[in-house]
Amino acid sequence: MANGKRQKPPGVGCSALCVGVLVAVVVIIVLLCISLIVVYENEGQVVAKVDLYDVELPAEQTVWFEANLAELRNAFRVVDENKKRAKNVVLFIALDSAAASPGDPRPVWESFPHLALLRPTTSDGAGASVSFNPTAMFCGIEPRHRHTVGFDSAVSPSDDCNEPPNSTHRAASILQWAQAVGRLTGVVTNGELVQPTPAALYAHTPNSSWLYVGPDEQQCPDVRTQLLYGETGRALNVIAGTLPCPEEFCREAFESAWEGERLDADTSYKLATELKELLDPALDEREYALGLFERQTLAQPNAFHDLTVGALHVLDRPEGFVLVAIADPSVPIGAAEVDAAVKATLRKLSTVLDDSLIVVVRSDAREGDAAFATVHATGPMSHLLHRVHDQTFLAHFISYAARIGRFRDADLTNFILQMV
């Protein structure tokens, strides 16, 4: 206490130093953690590098390690979600068809960033087979019976037309939704245009066997009549496939009536009599196109490709479009042929891919009728495909992505979007 000064207790200076060192160590650790986070996560993209041990392997093993190393690199590339409105939609349907051949290269759709499974559902009561239903996929509602087309579950199959189905139970399809907002529409198939799968896009019938003849043309028109004169059918910009009518000159009569409709409306059109005509670039100047071909013509290699390319020539316009391309299960076709059509689509739309949703729905015929279907997608809103979905989800997914149907934009918004 000499000179009135208090002496420091022994060890106090050391404790302060220790506290300072401890704080510094904590700060350094925090900074290291932050730096590690920055290194490992840069705006959602993993950029960390992992050492790869150099191991001598036989060539037969090296090829697989190198291929899968490339797959891992791709997996680390986080794809930004495209949340734009899908101005264009191309939907490929290849159910129970398009089997891959040994040695075929991987199809382009396997490189699409988003993938999901579609689950089929059982109809017609207990014990019925499980399969995909076109009304469910294209209209987004599950019908009760597989023998009805374009109707909801309130409508049962009918062998006569004594009680015509109530029109309120008609199910609107993705093509009808698209037409309602001014989009161009088309359906192409290497099979029969009036079979249930394409028919669900434009027709409504309580009996799927009424392809060319119905019991009452006014109350219950057949599918062919609805393709020609129905609200959705007559508005289709592109129709291509086969129409093997039972009566003579049926195809010629259909072509003549369709051409008359186009002339009455004073619209430009192309009536293709040979498949190669669909590859004519002059189709870009046509508003409508019809191609009815023989079965053997559509069974030829590249036929599915030509149908798709021809449709895109007509549909690729500023107002946008929805195209459905169907690979008929009854027509022998390899996965490579569907792959060629998808690749041609990507090339044709290369300048507008950011606004174009490309979807491929496929199942393998070898797996039986209860198999799930894979859905591969790229483009606007494709990230919404992310797990196992009911088959009805397909229509609602496309509706949301393209802003059609119940998700349609206001009329003024649609008008402005078509101008930009």
* Residues that constitute the known binding site: 197
Query: Measured between alpha carbons, how far is 314 from 268 in angstroms, rounded to an integer?
Result: 11
Surface-to-core class of residue 408, CB atoms within 10 Å of its CB (0-12 exposed, 13-18 middle, 19+ buried): middle
Query: Measured between alpha carbons, how far is 324 from 198 in angstroms, rounded to an integer?
Result: 9
Query: Measured between alpha carbons, how far is 59 from 84 in angstroms, rounded to an integer?
Result: 45
In angstroms, the Cα distances linking 144 to 136, 175, 384 are: 10, 22, 27
Surface-to-core class of residue 387, CB atoms within 10 Å of its CB (0-12 exposed, 13-18 middle, 19+ buried): exposed
Task: Enter the tokens of residue 132.
Answer: 């995909």
Q: What is the 3-state secondary structure (H, E, C) of 248-317?
A: CCHHHHHHHHHHHHHHHCCCCEEEECCHHHHHCHHHHHCCEEEEECCHHHHCCCCHHHHHHHHHHHHHCC
Hey, how many other C-beta atoms are within 10 angstroms of the C-beta on 164? 14
Question: Are the C-beta atoms of residues 238 and 278 closer than 8 Å to each other?
Answer: no
Q: Could you tell me whether strands 238-242 and 288-292 are parallel, antiparallel, or unpaired per DSSP bridges?
A: parallel
Query: Measured between alpha carbons, how far is 334 from 24 in angstroms, rounded to an integer?
Result: 67
Helix (H), strand (E) at residue 42:
strand 41-42
- Phi and psi torsions of 22, nearest 5°: -65, -45
Amino acid type, 223: V
Q: Could you tell me whether strands 288-292 and 356-362 are parallel, antiparallel, or unpaired per DSSP bridges?
A: unpaired
- Phi and psi torsions of 272, nearest 5°: -85, 130
Task: Specify binding-site residues for Mg(2+).
Answer: 197
